[in-house]
C-alpha cells in the first residue's frame, strides 16, 4: 500500500516526497516521523473543493489534536483552513505560529478559567461550550469584561457509531457535551440565548473517530436538525451554524475502504438538505472538523531494526528502536498498521513477523505483519502514522520524543527537533537535601 507521494525508487527503497527514506533515516536518525506535505495540502484542498461545490456556506476546521506544531499551523493558514484547538497548549502553538485567531475554534470538555481567559484575550472565532460549569464561568467572564462572545454548544445526539469503544463520543454515556434525549441541551441553550453577552451561533456534535461508513453521520445530522426545529418552535431561535465534527476514517490497512471525501460530502449535504427541507429551516453555515483524514495517511514512521528473534514454531520478533512512547495507539485502541522494510521495498513480503518496541514492557506494536526478510540495521517504515502518533508521544522509560520532518519535492525540513537527553532533565528539580556534592 503506497500512499500520497510514496513510491519505490531505482534503488528499491521507499521514497516519500522525492526523499529516499533510507537516506532520511541516515541523516536524521530514527525513530523519525516523516510528513508528506503534498498529501497534506491535497487533503485540505479536497475537503474545501468537495464542500464548496455542494454547500458553499461552509468552513473546514482542522482538528489540531491529530497533529499540531507551528509549521503545521503555517501550512493550514496558507491553505485558508480554520483550526480547532482543545487546550491552552494548542491555542498557544497556533498563536505563536501567527495563525489568525478569527479562524480558531476553542474546544475542551474541562476548560479552566485561565484557558477561557486566554481564548477571550485572543478573541478566537468561536468557543464551544461543553458543560454547565463552563457556561457559568464564561458568562461571568464575559460580564466582567463587557465582552460579546460567540459560542456553539456541544450536544450528544445519542448515536453509537461503529468504531472502537474508546473513540466513540456521540453516545449518551459520554463525558462530552449536553444530552439531547433528556432535554438537557435544549434547557441550557435556551438559557444562554437569553444572556446579553453571549451570541449563540449554533450547535456542535462529534460522533466518533475512524468511521469507515457514514451511517452515524447521517443519523446525527437528522437528530441535530430536529433539535434546531425544536428551538425554532419553542423559543423562536433559528441557529446560524451547525458543526458536525469530524471522524472520517483512513486506510491503515489495504483492506480498509473509507468513504472518499467527495462521497462523504454527498451524504452530509444530501442528508442535511433533506432534513432542512422537511422542517422548513434555512441552511445554516456548515462547519466540520476533520483531523485524521487530513493528516493520517500523510505520516510515516521510520525505525531502525535491532534484534530479530525467531522462536521456532511460535513467531519471529522484530525489535525496533521505538515503541509505546512514539506510538501508543496499538496499546490504547488495538490499532493496526501496515509496514514494510524501506530498504527492501522492492522485495517480496514473504515473512510473517511481530514487531515489538524496546521499552521495558511487552510493547507489541504490529502483530503478524508480512515483511521482506528483515535484518539488524534495516529501516522499517510504518504507514499512516500522521494522526495521534506524535501528538500522543510520551517520555516513557525516559525515551526522547522523535524528530518530525516535512518532505516535499526532494527537500526535507525539520519541523520538530528531536528531544535531547538534556531536555529530559531540564525541568527536574533537585531538593538541596538530596543534592550530592559535585
Residue 368's nearest CA partner among 324, 346, 337, 399 is 337
Sheet with 7-8, side-by-side order of all strands? 7-8, 14-16, 19-20
C-alpha cell, 36: 508528506
Residue 360 annotated as catalytic: yes
C-alpha cell, 308: 530479530
Cβ atoms of residues 15 and 25 within 8 Å: no
Q: Which of 69, 73, 82, 360 is catalytic?
A: 360
Q: Which residues pair with 343 in a beta bridge?
A: none
CB neighbour class for 291 (10 Å; exposed up to 12, middle 13-18, buried from 19): buried
- Catalytic residue annotation: 360
Amino acid at each position: 500500500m503506497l500512499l500520497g507521494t510514496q513510491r519505490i525508487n531505482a534503488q528499491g527503497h521507499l521514497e516519500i516526497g522525492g526523499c529516499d527514506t533510507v537516506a532520511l533515516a541516515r541523516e536524521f536518525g530514527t525513530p523519525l516521523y516523516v510528513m508528506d506535505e503534498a498529501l497534506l495540502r491535497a487533503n485540505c484542498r479536497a475537503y474545501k473543493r468537495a464542500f464548496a461545490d455542494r454547500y458553499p456556506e461552509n468552513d473546514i476546521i482542522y482538528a489540531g489534536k491529530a497533529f499540531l506544531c507551528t509549521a503545521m499551523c503555517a501550512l493550514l493558514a496558507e491553505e485558508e483552513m480554520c483550526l480547532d484547538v482543545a487546550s491552552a497548549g494548542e491555542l498557544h502553538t497556533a498563536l505563536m505560529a501567527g495563525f489568525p485567531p478569527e479562524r480558531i475554534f476553542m474546544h475542551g470538555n474541562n476548560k479552566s478559567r485561565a484557558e477561557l481567559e486566554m481564548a477571550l484575550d485572543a478573541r478566537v472565532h468561536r468557543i464551544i461550550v461543553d458543560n454547565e460549569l463552563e457556561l457559568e464561568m464564561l458568562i461571568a467572564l464575559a460580564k466582567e469584561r463587557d465582552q460579546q462572545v460567540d459560542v456553539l454548544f456541544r450536544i450528544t445526539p445519542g448515536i453509537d457509531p461503529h468504531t472502537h469503544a474508546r473513540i466513540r463520543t456521540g453516545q449518551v454515556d459520554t463525558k462530552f457535551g449536553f444530552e439531547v434525549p433528556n432535554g438537557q441541551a435544549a434547557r441550557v441553550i435556551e438559557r444562554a440565548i437569553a444572556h446579553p453577552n453571549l451570541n449563540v451561533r449554533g450547535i456542535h456534535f462529534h460522533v466518533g473517530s475512524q468511521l469507515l461508513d457514514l451511517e452515524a453521520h447521517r443519523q446525527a445530522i437528522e437528530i441535530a436538525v430536529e433539535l434546531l426545529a425544536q428551538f425554532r418552535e419553542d423559543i423562536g431561535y433559528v441557529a446560524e451554524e451547525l458543526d458536525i465534527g469530524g471522524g472520517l476514517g483512513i486506510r491503515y490497512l489495504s483492506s480498509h475502504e473509507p468513504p472518499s471525501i467527495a462521497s462523504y460530502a454527498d451524504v452530509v449535504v444530501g442528508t442535511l438538505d433533506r432534513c432542512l427541507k422537511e422542517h422548513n429551516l434555512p441552511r445554516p453555515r456548515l462547519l466540520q472538523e476533520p483531523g485524521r483524514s487530513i493528516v493520517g495517511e500523510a505520516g510515516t514512521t521510520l525505525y531502525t531494526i535491532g534484534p530479530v528473534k525467531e522462536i521456532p514454531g511460535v513467531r519471529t520478533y522484530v525489535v525496533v528502536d521505538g515503541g509505546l512512547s512514539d506510538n501508543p495507539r496499538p496499546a490504547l485502541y488495538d490499532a493496526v498498521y501496515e509496514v514494510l522494510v524501506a530498504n527492501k521495498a522492492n522485495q517480496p513480503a514473504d515473512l510473517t513477523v511481530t514487531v515489538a518496541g524496546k521499552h521495558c514492557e511487552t510493547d507489541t506494536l504490529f502483530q503478524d505483519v508480512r515483511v521482506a526478510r528483515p535484518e539488524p540495521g534495516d529501516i522499517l517504515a510504518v504507514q499512516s502514522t500522521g494522526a495521534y502518533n506524535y501528538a500522543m508521544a510520551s517520555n516513557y522509560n525516559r525515551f526522547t520524543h522523535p524528530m518530525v520532518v516535512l518532505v516535499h519535492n526532494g527537500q526535507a525540513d525539520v519541523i520538530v527537533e528531536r528531544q535531547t537527553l538534556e531536555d529530559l532533565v531540564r525541568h527536574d528539580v533537585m531538593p538541596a537535601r538530596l543534592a550530592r556534592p559535585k
